A = this chain, B = another copy of it.
Amino acid sequence: MSNLDSLFNPSSVAIIGASPDERKIGGRPLSYIQRYGFEGEIYPVNPKYKEIGDLKCYGDILQIEKDVDIAIIALPSAAVIENFKKCAQKGIKSVVIFSAGFSEFGEEGKQLQDEIVYIAKQHGIRVLGPNCLGLFNVRTGFYGTFSTIIEDEKPIKSKIGFVSQSGAFGSHVFTLARQQNIGFSYFVATGNEADIDVADCVEYLATDPDTNVIACYIEGVKDGGKLLNAFKLARDNNKPVIVIKVGCSDVGMKAAMSHTGSIVGADKVFDTVFKQSGVYRAKTIDEFLDVTYAASQLPPLKGGRVAVFTISGGVGILLADQLAENGFTLPETPADVQEKLKGILPIAGTHNPIDTTAQISYIPTLLEDFMDAVLSSGAYDAAIIFLGFAGLKHNSIAERIETLRKMKDKFQNIPQIAVTINSPESSLAFRDEGVSVLQDPTRAVIALKAMKDFEQFKYRSLTQDFKRFQIDLSDIDDNLTEYGSKKFLQQFYLPITNEKLALTEAEAVQFAKEITYPLVLKGMSPQILHKTDKGLVSLDIQKEEQVYKEFRRLKGIIDNLPGAKFEGVLIQEMLKDDFIEMFVGSKYDPIFGQMIIVGFGGIYIEVLNDISMRKAPVSEKEAEEMILELKASKILQGYRGKEASDIAALSQVISKFSEVIASLDEDLSEVDLNPIMVFCEGHGVKIADGIITFNKQLAKI
C-alpha cells in the first residue's frame, strides 16, 4: 500500500480551521465533503465552535478520539507549525496545508517550511503544500480543497487524473473541461511542493485503478530522475501521460564552451526527456485537454489509415491536408464499397474523404450505412466524422449520436472522433453515450496524432539498465588535448584515427613511416582548445622533409605562447576516402543528467540547428532513430545516387559513447567529437577530432 493512500483515498479527515461559513477557506472543504457524499469520518477542528452543522467540532486535533488519516490545515501561516506538530503527535499520515506565507514569501517563510519538512520526515508524515489549493477524489467524494471551481456543481467522474503545480492553472483547465462535460478521477494542486511533488502524484496515479490517463501541468522540476521514474511506471502500466510544461528551467544549462553545448537549450532537454519517456507534451491548453480526453476515451490506434466522413467537401479536403501533414494516409475507399455507397446516395462523394453531403439530414440511416460499409472493409484504422453544426440541431442530434454509439460499439478497435459545434446539452448527450466529440476538425487531427504517438510510446522507454563502466579518473588530467581525449575514448573500443604522439622530430618521422603518408600533423597543448585558430593543424603532409619542418613549426608556435605547455605533435592518418562529416557530443543537464547530441558537421547544419538529442544512455536502435530523425538524414541514406553511409557503425559508436557518458555522469562536463567521419556502408566510422572536459571539482574528489 502506497504511503500516499491516506492522501488520495482517506477514510477519515480532520479540518483544522473548519468554519460554518461556506465561503471561508476552512468552510469550503467541510461543505464540499458533506455535500458531495464523502462516506468517511469528518472531524472539524476549531476552538471557536462546539459543533458545525451536525458535526461535533473539536477544539484541538488531539481531542479526536479515533485515528485520523488526513488533516487539512486552513489557518494563517503563523498558526501552522503548532498545529502541524499536533498532527505529528496524533499520528496523522498526511497533511494538506492550504496556508500561504512559506517559501514563496522569502527567507523567513522558507525557514518555516523547512521546519515543517523536518518534522514531517521525523514522523513519516506526507505533506501536500503549503500554499496549495489541495486535492480531491471524485469517486469517494473527498474534497480536500478550498477551490471555488466545484462550488456550483459536483465534479464529473472520469478516469483522468490531473496534477498541477499551479492551482490557478489547474482550476482553469478543470473549468474548461467541465464546460465540455469532461471529468476527472483526481485533481491535485501541489503548491510549494515542500514534500509531495508532481512526480509523487504521477507515481500514485500510475498504479491507481480509478485512473487510466494522467495529465500534468509542470513549471519546474527539482528531481529529474524521480520524475522520469514516475513516467516510466505510468508507461509500464499502459497509462498515457500528457504534460504541459511552461517556462524555461530555472537552473538552466550551464554556459557552454563548446560547439555542442552552445546549440542546446534547456527547453529542448525537456522536450527530449518527455518524448523519450513516452510522455506527450501539449503546447496549448486546448491541445492539453483534447489529447487527454481522447486518450481517456478512445481505443488504441493500430495504424495510420484514416477514413473521413464529412458533410462538407471543403472540410474533407482540410482534414485530408492536415492528416497527411501529420503522417496519416487516407486510403481510397475500396471499389465495391464505393459502389455500395453510390447505391445508397448517387450524389455522394465516395472517394475518401467521403462526402455524405447535406442529405445526412434527410436520410436518417445514411450516416450509419456509410460508416458501416466503409469501416467493415477493414481498410481503416481510425475515423473522423465531421458533422458541421449538427450538435446545435436539437431535433436531429439524438439520431446522430445513436448512430455514432452503434458504430463505436460495432468497431470497438477503431478510434472514432466526431466533430461538431456543440451546445451544452448535446455535449452532455455525446458524453452519456460515450461518443468522443471535439469542436474543430484540426483538433481532431491533433488528437489522432497524439493517439499515434501513444502507440509508438508503448515501445519506447528510457534505457536505464546498462553496464555501467567503472572509470577511474584519478590519473586523468584536468584538460585533455585531442590526443588525450581520444586515448581516453579508445579504452572503450571507440574507433579513432590511426595516430601517435611524437615528442621529438625523430619520433615524428618514425611514426609517419608507420602510419603512412599522407598525414595530418597537429600541435598538442592542454592549454589550447582551438587548434585551428592558432595554426596548429597541418594538412596533407606528403614526405619526410615536411614532417621535420612542420614538427619544428608546430612546436615553435606552442613554445611561443605564454602559459602553453607542449605535449607533443600528433601524427595522424589523413582520411581520403569518401565520407560524411558528423558530430557527436554530450552535455550535462543539471536536472536530467547526461544528454547525448548528434548532428552533421559543417556550417549550414550548425546555422540550421539540425540536431538530435537523447538522455544517455541509448541503445543502438535508439541511436539509429536519432540519426534518422535529423532533417538532413537523407544524405546518409544514399542521396542523389551516392552510396549509403554506414549508419549501423555510427549507431554502435553513439550507443557505446552514450554508455560512457552515462557512467561518468556528473564527473563529465562535456564532450565534442567533431568531426566523426562516416564511411560507406560496411566501412565504419572514425573519430577524427575530439575534446573531453571533465567536471574538475567533482572529478578530483
Contact = CB atoms under 8 A, between A and B. Distances in A.
Contact of A169 (B176, B247, B314, B443): B314
A388 B172 contact: yes
A561 interface: no
Which of A165, A172, A358, A600 has the most B CB atoms < 10 Å from its CB? A172
A450 B414 CA distance: 38
Interface string A301-313: 0000000000111
Nearest to A319: B246
Interface in A303-341: 311-315, 317-318, 320-321
Contacts of A607: 631-632, 634-635, 639
Interface stretch (A281-289, A364-372, A502-510, A542-550): A281-289
A392 interface: yes
Nearest to A176: B421
A626 B441 CA distance: 33
B284 A440 contact: yes
Given A166-B313, A179-B392, A246-B321, 11 more contacts: A168-B311, A168-B312, A168-B388, A169-B315, A172-B312, A172-B388, A172-B389, A247-B317, A285-B441, A286-B442, A604-B604
Contacts of A168: 311-315, 358, 388
Interface string A442-474: 110000000000000000000000000000000
- Per DSSP, are chain A's interface residues mostly helix, strand or loop, or mixed? helix
Interface string A632-651: 10110001100000000000
A110 B285 CA distance: 48
Taking residues whose C-beta sits less than 8 angstroms from the other chain, chain A's interface range is 35 or more
A363 interface: no
B284 A635 contact: no
A479 interface: no
A689 interface: no
A76 interface: no
Contacts of A181: none
A635 B246 contact: no
Contacts of A217: 314
Contacts of A631: 607-608
Which of A219, A389, A440, A602 has the most B CB atoms < 10 Å from its CB? A389
A701 interface: no
A443 B166 CA distance: 21
27 contacts: A149-B389, A166-B313, A166-B314, A168-B311, A169-B314, A169-B315, A171-B312, A171-B388, A172-B315, A176-B389, A219-B314, A244-B318, A246-B317, A284-B440, A284-B442, A285-B318, A285-B441, A285-B442, A286-B440, A600-B604, A603-B635, A604-B604, A604-B608, A604-B635, A607-B635, A608-B631, A608-B632
A119 interface: no
Contact of A321 (B169, B247, B632, B635): B247
A610 interface: yes
Which of A314, A320, A631 has the most B CB atoms < 10 Å from its CB? A314
A12 interface: no
Contacts of A392: 175, 179
Given A175-B389, A441-B285, A605 B603 contact: no
A312 B166 contact: yes
Nearest to A312: B168
A174 B48 CA distance: 59
A314 B246 contact: yes
Nearest to A247: B317
A421 B173 CA distance: 10
Given A311-B168, A440-B284, A604-B605, A179 B317 contact: no
Contacts of A440: 284-286
Contacts of A358: 168
Interface string A174-218: 011001000000000000000000000000000000000000010
A700 to B, nearest CB: 34
Which of A219, A247, A607, A610 has the most B CB atoms < 10 Å from its CB? A607
A40 to B, nearest CB: 29
Given A604-B635, A608-B631, A635-B607, A175 B314 contact: no
A603 B176 CA distance: 48
Interface in A239-292: 244, 246-247, 283-286
Contacts of A600: 604
A312 B179 CA distance: 19
Complex A-B, nearest 8 residue pairs according to Cβ-Cβ distance, in ascending order: A168-B312, A169-B314, A166-B314, A284-B442, A175-B389, A246-B317, A247-B317, A604-B604
B603 A640 contact: yes
A176 B219 CA distance: 34
A313 B284 CA distance: 15
Contacts of A312: 166, 168-169, 171-172
A23 to B, nearest CB: 11
Nearest to A320: B247
Nearest to A631: B608
Contacts of A315: 168-169, 172, 285
A635 B441 CA distance: 40
B219 A317 contact: yes
Contacts of A632: 604, 607-608
A362 to B, nearest CB: 11
Contacts of A179: 392, 421
